[in-house]
Structure 1
Amino acid sequence: MQKEKWFKTYLFIWFGQFVSLLSSSAVNFAIIIWLSLEYKSAEILGYSAIAALLPQALIGPFAGVYIDRWDRKKIMIFADAFIAICTIMMTLVIKDGHVQLNLLYLLMVCRSIGSAFHSPAMQAIAPLIVPENQLLRVSGINQMLQSVSSIAGPALGTLAIANFPINRVLYLDVIGAVFAICSLLFISIPHLKVEVSGSIGQVWKDLKMGMAAIYRNKGLAWMFLYSVMATVGIMPVAIMFPLLTIDHFGGKEFEMSVIEVIWGVGMLIGGSILSIFKINLRKVLLINCMHILLGLTFVFSGILNPNLFIVFVVLTGIGGMAMSIFSAAFMTTIQEEVAPEMLGRVFSLYFSFAIIPSLIGLIFAGNIGDYIGVANAFVIAGLLVIGLGICSFFTPSLMSLGLKKPEE
């Protein structure tokens, strides 16, 4: 498989995906603002988040089977196009202020289905194009793009919703999808042909093969387990950052925006470190250390004196950096440990496993904060993540990941 021109190929991918990520981030933030101002209902926000996440968790594993069978470039193109069509339909649903919430939820579900195909396919193409010794660097650049979009997206979304009605703001997402599709048309991505039947039995068999690919690799299975368990602690905390800013540190809208931006800046720094410097440390060590570092930022944020908001800002930036490095090292480890023809299923399974704790955190975050206090929730979640990072060092099969291949 020819990979000499991988960087030129990825430049096209990065350009299209960055515009798409930026526009999606802007639109998602604009929708949150619009729903908050229009309905002032936590219940409606909760339903919206569930509609956007739950379908990915439910159909993701089955989508992974077809990602491994079909042309991944075509999957990304059709997924982007499908999401864009759903967005256009959303503009009609909320036209002239007459909102039909049930239809809006349904279209958000459809967009989520498109994402269930797009995200794993995007992760699964890297080993087909990129030399193995460059995978961590590519993951770092991907994290940088996501970080920039997470910083600039909310600002763009706020500016857009302040000057245009929500149905026009949604067209930003359509423009981003067009850029992403056009960039893919100029590149060639190898297609791993799989000659199998499309029966339900075969699909289930392929899905079990994806699960077996994880289970057979004991180190990978432990890495998945620890990561999902950490997500149980991380997601409620991620949701409660604004509450900690307001309740514990006495902040307002400006302080909330600072914390959101500084998390993105931290992720940008983490991605930059991986993309610019050649990191010789084993990826499993990066994963474990970043879990511990992230957990420490949560603990110190929870016990911090309310007058030390600036320290909270610094801790948040460090946490964003740790999360960025962890995510890049985690994704690269999967790309190196799993055969390319199985990556669609494995990534889909992981995304599904990770989304379900996100939903649990979303549903119970408010109750957790009310019952034990937001600051205490940060401390408890941080101790959980630290404990998992420490346990990882004492799990031999997990620590053996990457030893069979020389570190480039």
Structure 2
Amino acid sequence: MPEIQSEWKRTFGIIWTGQFLSLISSSLVNFAIIIWLSIETGSAEVLAYAAIAALLPQSIIGLFVGVYVDRWDRRKTMIFADSFIAFCTLIIALLFHFGNVAYWLIYVLLAFRSAGSAFHMPAMQAAIPMLTPKSELLRVAGINQIIQSISNIAGPALGALAIGLMDIAYVMYIDIIGAVFAIVSLLLVKIPHPSPTIPTSKGFGQLTSEIRLGVRAITSNSGIAFLFLFSTLATFCIMPIAVLFPLMTLEHFSGDAFQMSIVEANWGIGMLIGGSVLGIFKLKTNRVTLINSSYVIMGLAFAISGILPNWAFWIFACLTALSGIAGAIYNACFTSIIQQNIDPFLLGRVFSMFFSITLLPALIGLLATGFLADTIGINITFIILGIAVVMIGIWSFFNKEMLTLGHQSELPETESNTTVYNS
């Protein structure tokens, strides 16, 4: 058993070292593109179109790509996805390098990158239970939050520095280097593939049948179904607020670009703290209770932010960090519950469906940002949506099926859950 324990940790460390470097470089490049578009156009509309291009493909194709993620070797899926994303970035870099940049081409290539991510993210989440003992899933999810948080904090700062030191074309190459590290790390290990629990065949009829199996995996367990429902409702309220954070800083608190960066950094720092707590300490608390509490904390932080007077920027910044802590705990607990309670062979489609469901509210938030800000005011929007999130959290506490699900923290280990093969 000690050898198995050290083996999965070593494999996990190799994979996530590459993924960490890839996440940092992608975050850097994404922020650099935002800065470039802001400087070149000064248009919020252009930024919104770029964001939609980066989200819409994941949301649409994510509804069915999970079937193929479950069929295919998950390590190879991640390698091909990373390679495809890097290839799209290379084309963007060449367009910048030769000065043939049209905004619509950037939108198209961002959309292609998004399509690659639609395969990569569910494959990565579905691979974790094949490497990690079930008793460690929550801690591993916390470590993932740490990695993502550091990327969220460092990426924008490094992106701003990079675009100040070099041409945007050369900044794009940084993302390609990060992808190479991710691919090499995956080539150094092997990820066990779960044995199919259902027959697979080609054809549209079989595809829709397998999609229905993914839906049934969610709906057949009432606790999981309610977990998805409440998460979707909360995300629908949270995403418009996330889009409005920069305008809240600029307009309500009369801030500037520096204060905007403070708010972004505080959110990342909060997520880093939340992920660190889960990654370092093996919490025994009911995970659904943690999720419901996170809803309440985030909702209160948003609502109080809307009530604050315009001189209370630093209180707003602290509340943003508190929201980040709650968000990290929610993400880690939700992910570990799904990984522990869904058949490993169905995890790819379940995660891809979830990513699609949660991205749709983000698109609505992007499209509704101007309307909300102009009609009812940014601070009133924070208050209304914050109260809605609080009510969702309180409502969730009365759902016994979900609370029972959160108690299932110690399940027996399986061979597929701890065995790792190396090449």
Answer whether TM exceeds 0.5 for this pair: yes
User: Matches of 2:222 and 2:49 in 1, distance apart?
Assistant: 37
Query: Which position in structure 1 is the counterpart of 2:335?
Result: 331
| Higher alpha-carbon deviation: 88-97 or 272-281 | 88-97
Q: Is the 1:29–1:153 contact (alpha carbons within 8 Å) kept by the matching residues of 2?
A: yes
Query: Which position in structure 1 is the counterpart of 2:62?
Result: 60
Q: Does residue 350 of structure 2 align to residue 353 of structure 1? A: no
Letter in 2 for 1:379: I
Letter in 1 for 2:167: P
Deviation at 1:407, TM superposition (A): 7.3
Q: Does residue 222 of structure 2 align to residue 218 of structure 1? A: yes
Deviation at 1:160, TM superposition (A): 0.8
Query: Which position in structure 1 is the counterpart of 2:324?
Result: 320
Give 5+ residue unaligned stretches, structure 2.
Answer: 413-423
| Higher alpha-carbon deviation: 203-212 or 35-44 | 35-44
User: Matches of 2:105 and 2:150 in 1, distance apart?
Assistant: 32
> 1:111-158 CA distances to partner (integer Å, 9 max, x unpaired)?
111000000111111111101110000000000000001000001100
Query: Which position in structure 1 is the counterpart of 2:10?
Result: 8
User: Matches of 1:97 and 1:379 in 2, distance apart?
Assistant: 45
Q: Is the 2:81–2:119 contact (alpha carbons within 8 Å) kept by the matching residues of 1?
A: yes
Give 5+ residue unaligned stretches, structure 1.
Answer: none
> 1:199-235 CA distances to partner (integer Å, 9 max, x unpaired)?
1111111111000100101111111111111111111
Residue pairs, 1:7-26, within 5 angstroms: 7-26=9-28
Q: Is the 1:16–1:182 contact (alpha carbons within 8 Å) kept by the matching residues of 2?
A: yes
Query: Which position in structure 2 is the counterpart of 1:113?
Result: 115
Letter in 2 for 1:351: F
Letter in 1 for 2:382: F
Residue pairs, 1:254-403, within 5 angstroms: 254-403=258-407
**Number of aligned residue pairs:** 408
2:255 is paired with a residue of what secondary structure?
Answer: coil
Deviation at 1:192, TM superposition (A): 2.2
Match of 2:35 among 30, 33, 36: 33
User: Matches of 1:54 and 1:132 in 2, distance apart?
Assistant: 33
User: Matches of 1:171 and 1:256 in 2, distance apart?
Assistant: 27
Letter in 1 for 2:227: M
Q: Aligned in 2, Cα 1:381/1:140: closer, same or farther, shift over 3 Å? A: same
Query: Which position in structure 2 is the counterpart of 1:43?
Result: 45
Deviation at 1:32, TM superposition (A): 0.4
Match of 1:191 among 190, 193, 204: 193
Q: Is the 1:282–1:407 contact (alpha carbons within 8 Å) kept by the matching residues of 2?
A: no
2:405 is paired with a residue of what secondary structure?
Answer: coil
Q: Is the 1:3–1:130 contact (alpha carbons within 8 Å) kept by the matching residues of 2?
A: no
Query: Which position in structure 2 is the counterpart of 1:241?
Result: 245
User: Matches of 1:170 and 1:319 in 2, distance apart?
Assistant: 31
User: Normalised by the size of structure 1, how large is the TM-score?
Assistant: 0.97
User: Matches of 2:279 and 2:84 in 1, distance apart?
Assistant: 32
Letter in 1 for 2:133: P
Letter in 2 for 1:34: W
Deviation at 1:405, TM superposition (A): 5.8
User: Matches of 1:3 and 1:49 in 2, distance apart?
Assistant: 43
Query: Which position in structure 1 is the counterpart of 2:164?
Result: 162
Residue pairs, 1:77-156, within 5 angstroms: 77-156=79-158
User: Matches of 1:9 and 1:45 in 2, distance apart?
Assistant: 39
User: Normalised by the size of structure 2, how large is the TM-score?
Assistant: 0.94
User: Matches of 1:74 and 1:232 in 2, distance apart?
Assistant: 33
Query: Which position in structure 2 is the counterpart of 1:174?
Result: 176
Deviation at 1:312, TM superposition (A): 1.2
Q: Is the 2:134–2:411 contact (alpha carbons within 8 Å) kept by the matching residues of 1?
A: no
Deviation at 1:92, TM superposition (A): 2.1
Q: Aligned in 2, Cα 1:112/1:304: closer, same or farther, shift over 3 Å? A: same
Q: Aligned in 2, Cα 1:255/1:293: closer, same or farther, shift over 3 Å? A: same
Deviation at 1:193, TM superposition (A): 4.3
Q: Aligned in 2, Cα 1:407/1:199: closer, same or farther, shift over 3 Å? A: closer
Letter in 2 for 1:246: L
1:94 is paired with a residue of what secondary structure?
Answer: helix
Letter in 1 for 2:41: Y
